[in-house]
Amino acid sequence: MAAATPRRQPTLDEVAARAGVSRSAASRVINQAPYVSRATREAVEKAIRELGYRPNRTARALATRQTGIVALALSHDDPALFADPFFAQVIVGVSAALEETDLHLLLCLASSGRGRSRLTNLLHARGVDGIMLMALHGEDPLTGIVGESGLPAVHGGRPWHAEPQWYVDSDNLGGARLATDHLLGLGRTRIVTITGQMATEVGEARYRGYREAMVMAGLVPYGTVEGDFTEAGGAAAMKVLLDRHPDLDAVFAASDKMAAGALRVLSDAGRTVPADVAVVGFDDLDIAAQTDPPLTTVHQSIQALGKEMARMLIALIAGEQPTSIILPTRLVRRGSA
């Protein structure tokens, strides 16, 4: 009597195909990685049961060599940046998403040569499982450094003149149009803008939104001065605009902190807000409700930005293919306009 042919063991590829996920995602489930979505885990576990799959122990030992750490790298060298209300909220959002996993967060400042060198060494040594990038300026070398590492990477905001494969951003252009359209709707026509740094995508996008709204209304952009997203920068830009355009009747500032600086300068110059000059900011930080008068602004969900960045990175580490996201913005009306 002929011996029975041994039953062939199902492969990892077959498990992945049955579950409808990538091979990497199936491997993460089998190796009990903590950062896998519930739906993916359940689909793979069901496929394993149905196929009778048994993992190779040696392959499993190799596949589980993960650090359990992800990095948030900022192209900046001032530690006080982490106390900035914007970045503080981003970190809160990132942390909230990571709390659902066993991943830990490493914060990196990487603008100087030394900072970039340390980050390069960290990535080459595979000291993290993935990385999130923010606050990039111009042709920032961090983009190339991270790209060469081959590690999963998510951008918070798009780099200047580039569109990475995975990013989370706010609708900066649409929000700036909302702000400018609101000022136009109030009958203001001599609207100036204080932009953010124009070597950043966020600064350029918010300027484009202002410009498009003015052009669509049949007006020429009235006056522009570049700021740096700080209150001091907003104050300095407002002084220049008042000198150049003393008859201005409205200001769109590309951040709440710059708008706060502008309000202070307008008050010192004897201009009443909003009777003489209407002012709109962007971000909806806590400072917007504390200015005199309270600031009309464009709200963006900053914590959601951080949370979605982390969720996207978790998905990439799990071998999934997430879709980049642009978060909506909305106008918040207060006393300044």
For residue range 54-89, list pLDDT tens digits in order: 765 544 544 555 778 899 988 776 666 767 788 889
What pLDDT, on a 0 to 100 scale, did the predictor assign at position 116?
79
Dihedral (Cα; 128, 134, 140, 145), 10-degree rounding? 10
Say whether pLDDT at 127 is over 90: no
* Banded pLDDT at 93 (limits 50, 70, 90): very high
Say whether pLDDT at 314 is over 80: yes
From the list 249, 122, 119, the residue with the least C-alpha distance to 191 is: 249
Domains of the chain: 12-63 (1.10.260.40), 69-169+302-326 (3.40.50.2300), 172-300 (3.40.50.2300)
Q: What is the mean pLDDT of residues 246-250?
A: 97
Bridge partners (DSSP) listed for residue 70? 105, 130
Q: What is the mean pLDDT of residues 41-58?
A: 81
Residues written for the chain: 337
Its pTM stands at: 0.77
What pLDDT, on a 0 to 100 scale, did the predictor assign at position 41?
86
Sheet holding 69-74, edge to edge: 104-109, 69-74, 130-134, 153-156, 167-170, 325-327
Least confident of 103-107, 138-142, 215-219: 138-142
What pLDDT, on a 0 to 100 scale, did the predictor assign at position 78?
67
What pLDDT, on a 0 to 100 scale, did the predictor assign at position 134?
85
CA distances 44 to 15, 26, 99, 273, Å, are 7, 6, 23, 60
- What's the CA gap between 127 and 122, in Å, rounded? 5
Least confident of 29-33, 104-108, 153-157, 264-268: 29-33
What pLDDT, on a 0 to 100 scale, did the predictor assign at position 138?
63
What pLDDT, on a 0 to 100 scale, did the predictor assign at position 91?
92
Beta strands in 151-271 (DSSP E): 153-156, 167-170, 191-195, 223-226, 250-253
- What's the CA gap between 291 and 273, in Å, rounded? 11
CA distances 264 to 19, 149, 191, 252, 267, Å, are 60, 46, 18, 15, 5
What pLDDT, on a 0 to 100 scale, did the predictor assign at position 61?
43
Query: Which string of b and e fits 183-207 if b means at least 16 CB within 10 Å?
Result: bbebebeebbbbbbbeebbbbbbbb
Query: Are 284 and 311 in contact, with CB atoms under 8 Å apart?
Result: no
Percentage of the chain beyond pLDDT 70 is: 88
Q: What is the mean pLDDT of residues 12-29?
A: 83
What pLDDT, on a 0 to 100 scale, did the predictor assign at position 33?
65
What pLDDT, on a 0 to 100 scale, did the predictor assign at position 84?
78
Say whether pLDDT at 150 is over 90: no
Selected residue with higher pLDDT from 61 and 194: 194
Say whether pLDDT at 205 is over 90: yes
Q: What is the mean pLDDT of residues 176-188?
A: 98
Q: What is the mean pLDDT of residues 163-190?
A: 95
- Which range has the top average pLDDT, 7-11, 36-40, 101-105, 181-185? 181-185
In the chain, what is the straight-line distance between the N-terminal and C-terminal CA atoms, in Å? 93
From the list 91, 96, 92, the residue with the least C-alpha distance to 108 is: 91
From the list 257, 323, 324, the residue with the least C-alpha distance to 286 is: 257
The verdict on whether omega for the bond into residue 322 sits within 30 degrees of 0, i.e. cis, is no
Q: What is the mean pLDDT of residues 234-261?
A: 97
Q: What is the helix (H) or strand (E) element at residue 309, kind and residue range?
A: helix 302-317
What pLDDT, on a 0 to 100 scale, did the predictor assign at position 62?
43
From the list 329, 321, 327, 305, the residue with the least C-alpha distance to 132 is: 305
Selected residue with higher pLDDT from 183 and 62: 183
Bridge partners (DSSP) listed for residue 327? 170
What pLDDT, on a 0 to 100 scale, did the predictor assign at position 52?
86
Residues 6+ apart with CB under 8 A from 70: 98, 103, 104, 105, 106, 128, 129, 130, 131, 132, 310, 313, 317
Say whether pLDDT at 282 is over 70: yes
Residues 6+ apart with CB under 8 A from 215: 221
From the list 289, 292, 286, the residue with the least C-alpha distance to 274 is: 292
- In whole numbers, what is the pLDDT of the chain averaged over residues? 87
Beta strands in 66-190 (DSSP E): 69-74, 104-109, 130-134, 153-156, 167-170
Percentage of the chain beyond pLDDT 90 is: 55
